[in-house]
Amino acid sequence: MMYLHRSTSFRGSAVARAGLATAKSLDVNFDSSSGRIKFTPTRQQRLCLQIVLLLMVCCCPAAAIVPSMIYTETGRLTVVDTSYHDGGHRSDYMFLAEVGGLYSLICTTDSTIFNSLVSGGLVRVTSNQAPEVGVPWDILTLEIVTPPPPPLAPFTPSTPPGEPPPPSSPFFPSIPLATVASSTTAMDITLSTGSTSGSSTAPRSSSWSSQWNPGVFLNEVVADPPRVVRDLPTLFILLDLCGKGGGPATTNESLENMLFNGLTPMSDYIATCSYGKATFDQYNSRVLTIQLPCSGTGHVTKMPWDSSSCTRDNLLNWMYEVEWYIDNVLKPRDWNHRRYRHHVIITPRNMMDWAGPDCNWSGMGSIGMAQGTWSYVWISGDNWNTKQVYLHEIGHNYNLMHAATMERGDPESCSHCDWSSAMGYCCDTRCLSAPHNYQMGWAKPIATVNAAKLSPGNTLAFELPSQILTDANYLRVTTDWLSDTAVPESVISSFGGRGFYSPATATFMFSYRMSFRNFDELAPGFVGGTNVHLFSVADQADLKDSVHLELLTSGSPSWTDPSGTLIVRQVASSSLAAIVTVCRPDGATEATYEKCTDFWDNDCDGLVDADDPDCAQFYKPPPPPVPGPSPPSPPPRTPNPAPPPPNPSPPVVLASPPRPIVLPPPPSPPPPAQSTPPPPSSLPPPPPRLLDPPAQEASPPPPNPPSVSLAGSDIGNTVVSRRRRPPFTPPTPPPAPPPAQPPMLPGPPPPPLRTPPKPRTLRPPPSKVNKKKRPPPPTPPPPSASKVKNG
């Protein structure tokens, strides 16, 4: 019986040599052409002993060989994010070894070692695979040796003598807001803005207050975030790769005009989106054109590169060669490329034609500062004049990630689908959204709401100015009243997992967006309302996509968070601002007497107490009024419109006690012009907070014996017009009784309650005059006659 054993797997190693030695010692035939060992059964026993020895040779020496096969290197890490035209993106982790060589890192055993990594730090990697140029290096571990240093101080070059100062932005944020009226809330709200300066400490003025809710937080005074990006010094390099793509994408002059000159340059775009906080102009930026050969060996990486593809190692080699060229060929005396925080290469056009189909991206940027104090950006030559692409990729340099939505089920599936931020799709010119403005330090909240400020059943109201008007422009709400287990895991997973949504720390941002031509042009679905974003970060530099959840408009005014414990409504809006309410429900309905009489919208349905159908059992309408006898028609008006001098006497007579007032139950309805809904007259025992006692009923004295004659006065309307609390209106002191309407009427016919001219002639003024003329007091007239005169 013959056994065949392939020795191919042992060639070139100590194990292979041991196997060959064993074959020779067994005195068997070794066929070198086939690589096989042939032996007979007579040698079988001896072979078994040799196999045991062979296993010892294979295992024991191997344990001593493994440590020598671990490769360790130290170098600088660069994280490159690529944005494609279709909205897709990818991240590559490029490693520049200190001993030379540029490698793309991968990890097949644990991909989480790349989480939260940014560019610029020194790292140490280990691998059991030898590094090879052009081949992804599969590593085992990654250790941060030195974190990225902070960026350099702001670049503040002096203005050249004889030249005007840098142009300022034409953006003037101090625009008065208009009056906003809401027919749904019966409120007239006047909006106003405060100072937009980032260093302002003056309180924001707000001329409106809630008329119905006792728990109102007006806009607060909030300081700027800890990190504020106040300048963007940038070195622009128009790259010429041996004439490919027709040479440089454009000329220096054309690029400078797009960046700094004309009606809508990029400098004004940055000034507008940063509210004047970030400086970007021709005095802190520079434009160069540099030509490189089609291929070569890197002066920094010591590895070959070419222009036949746009792989990440080629892109970085192009950047390193440009920097080497500036240092060793140009040798500028009055500037240093390291002082420019952003190095931007603009490739030649039509990259897909000369570098392959993988070059269908609009831009790339390093996440973080690639060299610790400066960073890298690559712009496709076809997008050299697209301002949004520059802001998108430069945003990556400050750890800004993408603007995602839930459009395709979870944030990871649509990481660029939020058209309200420059960190979304290319290529409309638009500013950043509230989450990314916060990361850059360009915007701050008008107020921050959490469990300490929003109790269950309470509602807070805020003014949200249009984001383009002021840097204090968004509302921040954290649901810290929840526990981590308050929401089912299935719901958390639908929001991308706990990395995006964790109930106890979930933070939502609300911002009102209107389009601003040339600089902040938004797509439908993200403009004309209040945008709702999910963005839960502990620090401005955290790496996380923002998630757009909803747009609140008049047609869809409310939004509820995943836990059901936060309801936000847009109750009023104009072209300049919106009013939003934030409510934390205290139960699903207002089903108790206490909740229906506390002037709070406990269930957050936008209806308070008597206006809420849940409270109908406590607010029953009164029975229909019984029609009384119609008063007789008054005679025609006399030709003389002026009343006699003693005309003011009727109010004196009416106000003098005791005036008999009898109100038949139920009261007669008021005149149509002053009609109001009937009051809740059949409530259970009235609570102390239900309604203030109507002052109109307390002003007249207690009624005397029945009398139905109220002619010549307006007091009947004052008494029977009982006040019903309107929606969203707290009990306030009622106004003074209006003056008698009959004397104010300009012409015929007089109101039914007006005193006929004939009784006015019988009034007592003549008798009063007679009383004054006679020295001794005369005998008073009979009581019956006096009553007839006053009737």
Its sign, for the CA torsion 659, 660, 664, 668, is: negative
Find the mean pLDDT for residues 187-191.
31
Q: Are residues 115 and 196 in the same domain?
A: no
Q: Are residues 557 and 487 in the same domain?
A: yes
| 65, 67, 68, 70 alpha-carbon torsion, rounded to 10° | 130
How many beta carbons lie within 10 A of that of residue 50, not counting itself? 18
Its sign, for the CA torsion 170, 174, 176, 181, is: positive
Q: For residues 779 and 468, which has the higher predicted lDDT (pLDDT)? A: 468
Output the six-digit token pair for 35.
């690589």
Residue 278 banded pLDDT, cuts 50, 70, 90? very high
Structural domain contains residue 169 = no
Structural domain contains residue 601 = no
- What confidence tens digit (pLDDT) does each residue in 53-65 have? 666 655 554 444 4
Q: Are residues 559 and 471 in the same domain?
A: yes
Find the mean pLDDT for residues 312-328.
93
- What confidence tens digit (pLDDT) does each residue in 343-401 have? 999 999 999 999 999 899 999 999 988 777 889 999 999 999 999 999 999 999 999 99
Structural domain contains residue 201 = yes
Residue 653 has pLDDT above 90, yes or no: no
Q: For residues 553 and 742, which has the higher predicted lDDT (pLDDT)? A: 553
- What confidence tens digit (pLDDT) does each residue in 141-175 have? 888 888 877 655 555 544 444 444 444 333 333 33
d(CA 345, CA 318): 9
Find the mean pLDDT for residues 519-534.
95
Structural domain contains residue 643 = no
Find the mean pLDDT for residues 187-209.
33
Output the six-digit token pair for 167.
């142009």
* Nearby residues of 760 by Cβ (< 8 Å), 6 or more positions away: 644, 712
Q: Are residues 210 and 248 in the same domain?
A: no
If you search the block for the tokens 């009102």, which residue do you land on? Answer: 512
Residue 662 has pLDDT above 70, yes or no: no
- What confidence tens digit (pLDDT) does each residue in 685-716 have? 444 444 443 444 444 444 444 443 333 333 33
Whether the model pTM is above 0.75: no
Residue 135 banded pLDDT, cuts 50, 70, 90? confident
Q: Which of 560, 583, 606 is the last residue of a domain?
A: 583
Q: Are residues 254 and 341 in the same domain?
A: yes
Q: For residues 775 and 632, which has the higher predicted lDDT (pLDDT)? A: 632
Structural domain contains residue 171 = no
For residue 329, give the CATH number of its domain: 3.40.390
Q: Which of 121, 146, 171 is the last residue of a domain?
A: 146
Q: Are residues 568 and 709 in the same domain?
A: no
pLDDT for residue 758? 54
Q: Are residues 221 and 246 in the same domain?
A: no
Range name among 601-610, 671-680, 689-698 with the lowest pLDDT average: 689-698
- What confidence tens digit (pLDDT) does each residue in 67-119 have? 458 888 888 888 887 766 566 667 788 888 877 778 888 888 887 888 878 88
Q: For residues 176 and 17, which has the higher predicted lDDT (pLDDT)? A: 17
If you search the block for the tokens 């009343």, which residue do you land on? Answer: 643
Which helix (DSSP H) or strand (DSSP E) does residue 534 occupy?
strand 529-534
- What confidence tens digit (pLDDT) does each residue in 540-575 have? 999 999 999 999 999 999 999 999 999 999 999 999
Q: Are residues 391 and 341 in the same domain?
A: yes
Count of domains for the chain:
5
- What confidence tens digit (pLDDT) does each residue in 466-486 have? 999 999 999 999 999 999 999
Residue 27 banded pLDDT, cuts 50, 70, 90? low
Its sign, for the CA torsion 420, 424, 428, 431, is: positive
Phi, psi torsion values for 440, nearest 5 degrees: -80, -15
Average model confidence (pLDDT) for the chain? Answer: 73
Q: Which of 100, 122, 146 is the last residue of a domain?
A: 146
Structural domain contains residue 96 = yes
Q: Are residues 249 and 368 in the same domain?
A: yes
pLDDT for residue 707? 40
Structural domain contains residue 523 = yes
Q: Are residues 325 and 460 in the same domain?
A: no
Residue 606 has pLDDT above 60, yes or no: yes
Residue 121 has pLDDT above 70, yes or no: yes
Q: Are residues 190 and 137 in the same domain?
A: no
For residue 134, give the CATH number of its domain: 2.40.50
| 675, 677, 678, 684 alpha-carbon torsion, rounded to 10° | -160
Q: Are residues 37 and 93 in the same domain?
A: no
Contact 271, 171 (CB under 8 A): yes
Structural domain contains residue 287 = yes
Q: For residues 535 and 689, which has the higher predicted lDDT (pLDDT)? A: 535
Task: Note down the domain range covering 103.
Answer: 69-146
d(CA 203, CA 572): 23
Which helix (DSSP H) or strand (DSSP E) does residue 389 occupy?
helix 387-397
d(CA 433, CA 417): 13
Find the mean pLDDT for residues 567-592.
92
